[in-house]
Amino acid sequence: AKAMGRNNFQFYTACMNQAAVRHMQLESGLKQALANNELYLVYQPKYEVKSGKLIGMEALLRWHSDKLGPVSPVEFIPLAEETGMINTIGGWVLQQVCQQLAQWRQQGLQPVPVAINLSAKQLNNHIVDEVQQALTTCELTASLLELELTESAVMQHPAESIAILARLEALGLTLAVDDFGTGYSSLAYLKRFPIHTLKIDKEFVRDISDDPEDAAITSAIIALAHSLDLLVVAEGVETQEQLHFLASQGCDQVQGYLLGKPMSVADCSGLLQAKAEP
């Protein structure tokens, strides 16, 4: 038992070391990522259920590290938040999206609104100036930008969040609550947030065809959103059955591999071009 205890100890320290080493590699890698041009955005299309029309896109960050290879945002976004790097990275995302929108317009394409994911850490008064600056520089109307915030981000400091979101809304931006249903929004607060859209998390969408409870939750979120005059988007739609169910429940917009994966700028330009053709 004693020997095993020691082995266990070694095992744990080895694992902890591995995690610590990875953490350190990621942290120092991420610090260089912007300067090394290792970050880029992909865009996932969003469709209106009723018409089947392309009505928006979501910008999703990608990191291909020279040293570590591709790293998922699920791994590096929390690290960026923890180290404070999210402010620089988030600012870059905002500028990149605005420049992209301006470029599409310059190419004679009619861009659709693009949604940006915002971390809780970015939800401060500084972001309002940053957004305004980016819009002005690129000569864009604010309605081309949408911000997605998680429930937990806005619920950390509800009163402060409401004030900042109100300023963003006053600029003309559209605001969405991301991953809805996974956090603990108080419905009382939901009513007071100046938001336009609820996004149903893909966790609920995944099992709507076989799990009656997930189906019930999804229907309830759609009904709740509509009774509060909000739009509903379902993310993670992968099958016709899921799409069918969501349509039958009156879901307004959908996003998912069935309709379009996150794609390169070139592929998005193609989508915008196809949209313009009669």
Binds 164: which of Ca ion, ligand C2E, none (CB < 5-8 Å by kind): none
Query: In the structure encoding, which two tokens stand for residue 42, read together?
Result: 């992909």
- How far apart CA 45 and CA 59 sit, in angstroms, is 9
What is residue 111's three-state secondary structure?
coil
- How far apart CA 55 and CA 61 sit, in angstroms, is 20
Tell me how many residues contact ligand C2E (CB under 6 A): 23
* Least distance CB 81 / ligand C2E (angstroms): 8
Helices (H), 34-85: 73-83
Alpha-carbon distances, residue 103 vs 107, 138, 139, 276 (angstroms): 6, 9, 11, 16
151 contributes a contact to Ca ion by CB under 5 A? no
Scan residues 84-103 and list those touching ligand C2E (CB under 6 A): 90, 93
Name which of 201, 206, 165, 164 is nearest 181 in CA terms.
201
Whichever of 138 and 192 has its CB closer to ligand C2E, that residue is 138
236 contributes a contact to ligand C2E by CB under 6 A? yes
Q: Which position among 94, 134, 165, 202 is part of the footprint of ligand C2E (CB under 6 A)?
A: 202
Alpha-carbon distances, residue 154 vs 54, 61, 111 (angstroms): 28, 21, 28
Q: Which position among 57, 178, 256, 268 is part of the footprint of Ca ion (CB under 5 A)?
A: 178
Binds 46: which of ligand C2E, Ca ion, none (CB < 5-8 Å by kind): none
* Least distance CB 76 / ligand C2E (angstroms): 9
- How far apart CA 212 and CA 200 sit, in angstroms, is 16
Task: Identify which range of 9-17, 96-104, 176-184, 206-214 contacts Ca ion by CB under 5 A.
Answer: 176-184
Binding region for Ca ion (CB under 5 A): 117, 148, 178-179, 201
Binding region for ligand C2E (CB under 6 A): 44, 60-61, 72-74, 77, 90, 93, 117-119, 148, 178-179, 202, 235-238, 256-257, 262
